Amino acid sequence: KNAMADPQNHPSSVPPFVPFHGFVVKTFIEPDGKKLFVNICHHDDTMQRPLDARGQDVAGLSTHFDDLRIPVLISKLRTCVDGSQVKSSAVDIVVNSWCIEMCNRKDFPDFKPRFVVTALGWIAEEHSIKLQAQGRMPWKIIKSKYKGGFGKDGSNV
């Protein structure tokens, strides 16, 4: 895991790369219950495909999620607002497009939820935060493609 490059460290306001949106997961930060939007993004030129247990590039399908080593970039937490204009937080996770393709496959229905749970663990560890307890539904995939970004409705990466 690496923190995404900080655009403030660059001479222009253009980030070092712009990932493509994948899907958004909504969860909550404990103990205050603040909403957190997790943008699962992808980029092939920047992110290496996952590796299998032997350290080899996954050439195609992998049915063994636990054996994958998934390179990931995690952004800083940032403030945004939700659809009701309530102050919330957003964070981006960038992976190789292979991960998004696997998440969208109907013949591997367990891949997406396992990936989301793993990604939420990475965020909690990277930012030293506690995410919603397991007592309630801890997360939900929402219809948005991106939250907390640029543009009028914050949906631009």
pLDDT value of position 62: 60
Residue 80, token pair as written in the block: 């945004």
All residues at 6 or more sequence positions from 31 whose CB lies less than 8 Å from its CB, including other chains: 130
Confidence of residue 155 (pLDDT cuts 50, 70, 90): low
Q: Could you read off the pLDDT of 108-150 as tens digits, one per residue?
A: 888 999 999 999 999 999 999 999 865 566 899 999 989 987 6
- pTM, entire model: 0.83
